[in-house]
Amino acid sequence: MAAIEAGPTVVSGKTFLISDSNPTTRLGICESAIKAARYAGKDIPTILGGDEMPRGKIYDGSWSDATLNWKPRYESFDKFMASQN
């Protein structure tokens, strides 16, 4: 919606990287997911490397946020999953 609202003069020919800007691990994703009612009580799978695994790709979406005058509804995936009850 933000791209549509910004209009074609702002978005034409550009690629936008959208994120909540809170890096996490695969284990962190699972730990966040079980905070939601849908996944509560589910077992977290064994993740090779555990929480010592690197966070993977970390990127900066601030240019996209500023260009589109956008901010995420939830400040993190963890906050989003915790709200799903």
- For 84, residues 6+ apart whose C-beta sits below 8 A from its C-beta are 35, 36, 37, 38
Quick: pLDDT tens for 40-71.
Answer: 999 999 887 666 666 677 888 999 999 999 99
End-to-end CA distance of the chain: 25
Please tell me the predicted confidence (pLDDT) of residue 67: 95
